[in-house]
Structure formats: C-alpha cells, structure tokens
Amino acid sequence: MCVPLDSATVEPTIPFNPLEPTMSHTSTSTARTAAARMTAAGDSARTTAAGDSAARTLDDPRLPVRVKLAAAWTSVMFLYAYVDIIAFFKPGVVDTILDGKVWEFDATQTLLTTIIALMAIPTFMIVLSTTLPARASRLTNLVVASVQIPYAAFNLAGGTWPFYYGLGVVLEVGLLVLILRMAATWPKAA
C-alpha cells in the first residue's frame, strides 16, 4: 500500500555535490535550509524595522490565577528568609545567637519549632495554591494571607532598625495584599 506524502513536510531534494567531500548530502541540505531560514528572518527583521508594529508585539498569554498565587507566595517565602538572613549582618546578632538567644527569647526547641512552622506557611501555600480545587484554594489564600499580615507586621515590634525591618514589612504586606486581591477577584467559570 502506498501512502501519499504531504509536500509541506518533505524537504526538497538537493543534488549531491561531489566537489564538496567534507559535507554529506544531509548536512548540505540542512545548511541550505538554515541559510534560507536566516534570509527569511532577515527579511522579517527589515519588515519589522520598516514599522510593522504588529510584528514587534510580544506574545503575552494570561497566566492562570494559580500560577500568579504560587509566584506571589514564593516571593513572600524568599522575603521572610532574606530579611532574617541579612539581619545576621547587624552588629551583635550572631553573638546573641551563639549565646543561645533568638531576638529576645531563649533558643529552645519549642521556639525553633514554632519558627520553622511559621516559615513553612508560605512554602505550603505555593503547593496548596496550585493543587487545591479552585474554591478551596481561593478560600485558603484569603484566610492565610489575612493571618500573615499581622505576623509580618510583628517584625516592627521592638525592632532597633526600623528602616530595615520597615522595608521588609512593607514588601511582605504588599505581596500579601496582592495575594488577597488575586484570590478575591478569582475569575468565575464561564
């Protein structure tokens, strides 16, 4: 049985040139095809340069709300971590930690377990935002982001570097408000 070939998928046959012994028939064909594509791309670039504004428009597909929420929670997670990590450079912080104190508290197993549990919230929200059913994801994002705002603001309580911690709080709260907005305006099914 003979199956007809689609002419659009078959590359035109280029005769073998025995004077080009270093290139096989296939590589010659590929090189000529690539050269033709580069010429076409050059023509396209000249058309764009000539003022075809439609050719300069970038493809910007809409991201699903779940992806936006996961990206926002990822940013919150990094901010939480970096505010704490960069604070190690504040004079006296490392010495205090080495003395067994975290902020004003003794570094106990209970304190460190509480800290890791609080830091895990944005991590789990990345996963939950993308895996929960839409209604549950929306509700979870609204509740958790609302609870996280006062937790983020806690960094200002009794802090000795108000500009440093203030910027961290503003950035974190800004992201949490963005999460609240995205979850609250989650598009309804058509």
pLDDT score of 10 more than 80: no
0.85 exceeded by pTM: no
Between the two ends of the chain, the Cα-to-Cα distance in Å is: 48
pLDDT class of 26 with cuts at 50, 70, 90: very low
76 vs 48 pLDDT, higher one: 76
Question: Is 109 a member of any domain?
Answer: yes
Q: How does pLDDT run across 125-176, given as a tens digit for each residue?
A: 999 999 999 999 999 999 999 999 998 888 787 667 889 889 999 999 999 9
What is residue 102's three-state secondary structure? Answer: strand
What is residue 160's predicted lDDT score, i.e. its pLDDT? 77
Question: Is 25 a member of any domain?
Answer: no
User: Amino acid identity, residue 22?
Assistant: T
User: Amino acid identity, residue 156?
Assistant: L
Which range, 53-62, 93-102, 150-159, has the best average confidence (pLDDT)? Answer: 93-102
Question: Is 110 a member of any domain?
Answer: yes
Question: Is 92 a member of any domain?
Answer: yes
Question: Is 144 a member of any domain?
Answer: yes
pLDDT score of 95 more than 80: yes
What is residue 32's predicted lDDT score, i.e. its pLDDT? 54
What is residue 4's predicted lDDT score, i.e. its pLDDT? 52
The total number of structural domains that make up the chain:
1
Domain that holds residue 114: 65-184
12 phi and psi angles, rounded to 5 deg: -65, 145
Average pLDDT, the chain: 80
Question: Is 96 a member of any domain?
Answer: yes
Q: Where are the beta strands (DSSP E) in the chain?
A: 101-102, 105-106
pLDDT class of 25 with cuts at 50, 70, 90: very low
CA distances for 164 relative to 81, 84, 146, 149, 161, angstroms: 14, 11, 23, 17, 6
Over residues 15-20, the mean pLDDT reads 51
Question: Is 74 a member of any domain?
Answer: yes
Question: Is 29 a member of any domain?
Answer: no
182 vs 162 pLDDT, higher one: 182
